[in-house]
Amino acid sequence: MTEERITETTRDPATGSTHTHTTVVNDGERSSSGGSRWGLIIVLLVLVIGAIFVFSQMSDAEVAKDEAISEAANDVGNAAGQIGDAAQDAADSISD
């Protein structure tokens, strides 16, 4: 925004007093309106909601990964139990 200041000084020859007058002229540009402020608020709100959504999806993926690991560990435990039972059966059949 451009601003021009015009200062006029007048002197009264009879009394010797001076008078100063300043005029300020603007180029006509206005400051931003409230509409751009609301637009910025809406954009920020959308970004916050998007961030919350992304982080919640990441959390769901972490839970799914943890459940898969738990299930795999359970399967390994069951397989170990079956091997132990087979070994016991083999030992029993040799003893008989």
* pTM for the full predicted model: 0.37
The per-residue pLDDT for 45 is: 95
Q: What is the pLDDT of residue 30?
A: 64
Q: Which residues pair with 23 in a beta bridge?
A: 6
Statement: residue 12 has pLDDT above 80? yes
- Give the 3-state secondary structure of residue 17: coil
Q: Find tokens 């300043």 and name the residue.
A: 22
